[in-house]
Amino acid sequence: MTPTGPTAEQWAAAVAAVRSAGTGDEVQLICHVNPDGDALGSMLGFGLGLRRLGYTRLRATFPGDFAVPGPYADLPGSGLLVPAGDAFVSPRLVLVFDVASESRLGDLAGLLAGAPAGVVLDHHASNTGFGGVQLVDPAAAATSVVAEELLRRLGVELDAEIAECLYVALATDTGSFKFDMTTVAVHELAARLIATGIRPGEISRRIFDSKPFGAMRLTGEVLGRAILDPSAAGGRGMVWTYATLADLDRHGQPPYILDTLIDPVRSVAEADVSVVVKEAAAGEWSVSLRSKGAVDVSGVAISQGGGGHRLAAGFTGYGEAAQVVDTVRGLLDRYLI
């Protein structure tokens, strides 16, 4: 089935929903728990766009700990960020970014459900269809693709600050323009963003190539314990590793440092599937799954209460790390493509 993007009616409804809020009304922007570059970049870029339209009462947040990963802490528009506890209580309009299911909104789900107007901007194939107006395009490389289109339809002109946010979102979700969904349209969007004067090299160094020394030592240790399982996934192979809270502690690193650990793991040529299991709390693991094309890992993730894309997905697992990996291994054959 070819994924279809928002219909003309949905775009029109989204524009109407935004305009239903006056420039003095409270507008709450929300992205997913443990936000990544796309969640924060699309949310803050859109927030800045609303500011350009004259909206004055804007707040942006995400559920859970108010921990913004270091590389994104200085994004333009980060002044809009507030801890979840300081979100508006009864906003007129709620806009949700990069969130595939209500569970990823945590305690903030009620804000969307209770608001007079709400729009969900997303690109996950696993999006459950929650919330008000749906702007979900599974073919979009990042939520920022959807955000830029809605900004354009609202009459916002891109400037360097908005562009930096949207570029960070696009670059992170496409693996720096390496993944399959890096289409002509993605490069055309990147060109429009770069035309505002932003510096891609400088942004990439800040986002991807700037980590504390302790993070390198931690990564070395966690990669050093990776296990290759060539017979998994019908012989296509699986490689996996894990990281505990004690590992983070020992190296004095915050949890977000592990967000990109899947990248070196998935570069292993002998394995189609890669898995990184990261301890989030005692007996609770945040599981990252990637495939090079043999397995629909979103199927595996959804079966465990998570979600994502066909070749990049995740879920929360419980028990021992090795048990969680065993469960994944056992499911791979069922989701061979």
Contact call for residues 43 and 97 (beta carbons, < 8 A): yes
The set of long-range contacts for 174-177, using a CB threshold of 8 Å and a minimum separation of 24, is: 174/141, 174/142, 175/263, 176/204, 176/208
By C-beta, is 72 or 242 nearer to Mn ion?
A: 72
Burial class (CB in 10 A: 0-12, 13-18, 19+), 188: exposed
Pick between residue 119 and residue 262 the one whose CB is nearest to ligand AMP.
262
Residues 8 and 113 sit within 8 Å (Cβ to Cβ): no
306 binds, among Mn ion, ligand AMP, none (CB under 5 to 8 A by kind): ligand AMP
Q: How far apart are CA 105 and CA 279, in angstroms?
A: 20
Quick note: the x/- pattern for Mn ion over 88-117, rule CB under 5 A, is ----------x-------------------
∠ CA 201-206-208, nearest 5°, is: 90
CA angle at residue 300 from 257 to 310, to 5 degrees?
75
Q: Output 91 or 308, the one with its CB closest to ligand AMP.
A: 308
Indicate whether 168 belongs to the interface with ligand AMP (CB under 6 A): no
Give which of ligand AMP, Mn ion, none residue 39 binds (C-beta under 5 to 8 Å, depending on kind).
Mn ion
Residues 100-129 contacting ligand AMP, CB under 6 A: 100, 104, 124
> What is the rounded distance in angstroms from the CA atom of residue 232 to the CA atom of residue 181?
26
Q: Of 13, 17, 18, 39, which lies in the binding site for Mn ion, with binding defined by CB under 5 A? A: 39
Which of Mn ion, ligand AMP, none does residue 313 bind (CB under 5 to 8 Å by kind)? ligand AMP
291 part of the interface to ligand AMP, by CB under 6 A: no
Q: Which of 315, 326, 321, 297 is nearest to 243 (CA)?
A: 321
Task: Please state, in angstroms and rounded to a whole number, the distance separating the CA atoms of residues 53 and 131.
Answer: 24
Is 174 an interacting residue with respect to ligand AMP (CB under 6 A)? Answer: no
Report long-range pairs for 256-261 (Cβ below 8 Å, ≥24 apart): 256/34, 256/67, 256/69, 256/70, 257/211, 257/212, 257/215, 257/218, 257/219, 258/222, 259/34, 259/36, 259/69, 260/208, 261/219, 261/222, 261/223, 261/288
Residue of 309, 310, 321, 328 interacting with ligand AMP (CB under 6 A): 309
For position 49 contacting ligand AMP by CB under 6 A, the verdict is no
Binding mask 233-262 for ligand AMP (x = CB under 6 A): -----------------------------x
Please count the residues of this chain forming the interface with ligand AMP, following the rule CB under 6 A: 14
Which of ligand AMP, Mn ion, none has residue 38 at its interface (CB below 5 to 8 Å by kind)? Mn ion
Cβ-based nearer residue to Mn ion, 61 or 143: 143
The CB-nearest residue to Mn ion is: 38
Q: Assess contact for 184 and 166: CB atoms under 8 A.
A: no
Partner interacting with residue 173 (select from ligand AMP, Mn ion, none; CB below 5-8 Å by kind): Mn ion
Dihedral of the alpha carbons of 274, 170, 152, 63, in degrees to the nearest 10: 60
Task: Give me the half-sphere count of Cα atoms (radius 13 Å) on the Cβ side of residue 99.
Answer: 30
Q: Nearer Cβ to Mn ion, position 104 or 236?
A: 104
Q: How far is the CB of 335 from Mn ion (least distance, A)?
A: 21
Is 313 a binding residue for ligand AMP by CB under 6 A? The answer is yes
Q: How far is the CB of 317 from ligand AMP (least distance, A)?
A: 9
Inter-axis angle of helices 160-173 and 200-208, to 10 degrees? 50
* Interaction between residue 148 and Mn ion (CB under 5 A): no
Q: Which is nearer to ligand AMP, 251 or 309 (CB)?
A: 309
Q: Contact positions toward ligand AMP, by CB under 6 A?
A: 100, 104, 124, 262, 288, 306-309, 312-316
| Contact set with Mn ion (CB under 5 A) | 36, 38-39, 98, 143, 173
